């Protein structure tokens, strides 16, 4: 992943260090590893952020920040990725998590009178909590592993292309101008 693309969408690290909710972490926020953007920190941050996005708890951003600090991966990327599950995407994502858990536990789907409302959720929570939590955990782990591997692979691919381009440019420069320059030096010497 190109650094410039990721950095364009991230907050300034000074802004995050002084954020009132992150002051709980104190001096740990001054660890430079939390703010560097390299292959290890970006891929680890994707794993943390994607996992926490599927954890069905409030204040996911604080959990993502805590895990990023413990894992010493990029804090802004971890916190930003939690927003994959936002108020718009939350119902379908959590429904998919429930269906994954129900499939693993071999349980039937929801009753035909399924509706996404607080009343329905409160009445049915006793029946759906196990498949829902299991599905959330498994979906979070799968997305974390997939995100980690994808970022590592894309970063490696980008780096390989960059080195290949540099090598071709160096070879072109040496074949066009480099040999003539060598001949001139040998003649004058």
Count of residues making up the chain: 189
Own/partner pairs, 16-25, CB within 8 angstroms, 24+ separation: 16/75, 16/76, 16/79, 21/61, 21/62, 22/65, 24/62, 25/65, 25/66, 25/69
Handedness of CA 126, 127, 131, 136 (dihedral sign): negative
- Those residues whose C-beta lies under 8 Å from the C-beta of residue 116, and which sit 6 or more positions away, are 91, 95
SS3 1: coil
- Read off the DSSP letter of residue 25: G
Question: Can you give the residue range of the structural domain that contains 14?
Answer: 3-188
The total of structural domains in the chain comes to 1
Q: Which of 32-46, 106-120, 159-173 has the lowest mean pLDDT?
A: 106-120
**pLDDT score of 45:** 94
How distant, in Å, are the alpha carbons of 64, 76, 180 from that of 67? Answer: 5, 12, 57
- The pLDDT of residue 35: 83
* Residue pLDDT, tens place only, 119-154: 766 777 777 888 889 999 999 999 999 999 999 999
- Separation of alpha carbons 103 and 6, rounded Å: 36
Calpha distance 179→173 (Å, rounded): 9
- The DSSP secondary structure of 145-189, one letter per residue, reads HHHHHHHHHHHHHHHHHHHHHHHHHHHHHIIIIIHHHHHHHHHH-
pLDDT at 95: 85
pLDDT (tens digit, 9 = 90+) per residue, 43-88? 999 999 999 999 988 889 989 999 999 998 999 999 999 999 988 9
pLDDT band for position 29 (cuts 50, 70, 90): confident
């Amino acid at each position: 992943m190109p650094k410039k693309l990721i950095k364009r969408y991230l907050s300034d690290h000074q802004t995050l260090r002084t954020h009132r909710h992150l002051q709980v972490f104190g001096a740990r926020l001054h660890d430079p590893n939390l703010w560097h953007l390299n292959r290890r920190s970006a891929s680890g941050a994707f794993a943390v952020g994607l996992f926490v996005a599927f954890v069905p708890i409030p204040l996911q951003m604080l959990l993502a920040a805590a895990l990023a600090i413990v894992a010493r991966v990029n804090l802004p990327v971890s916190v930003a990725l939690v927003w994959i599950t936002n108020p718009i995407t939350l119902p379908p994502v959590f429904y998919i998590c429930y269906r994954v858990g129900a499939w693993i536990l071999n349980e039937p789907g929801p009753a035909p009178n399924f509706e996404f409302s607080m009343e329905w959720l409160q009445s049915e929570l006793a029946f759906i909590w196990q498949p829902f939590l299991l599905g959330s955990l498994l979906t979070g782990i799968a997305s974390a592993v997939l995100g980690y591997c994808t970022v590592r692979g894309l970063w490696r691919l980008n780096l390989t292309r960059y080195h290949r381009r540099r090598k071709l440019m160096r070879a072109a420069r040496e074949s066009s101008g480099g040999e003539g320059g060598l001949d001139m030096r040998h003649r004058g010497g």
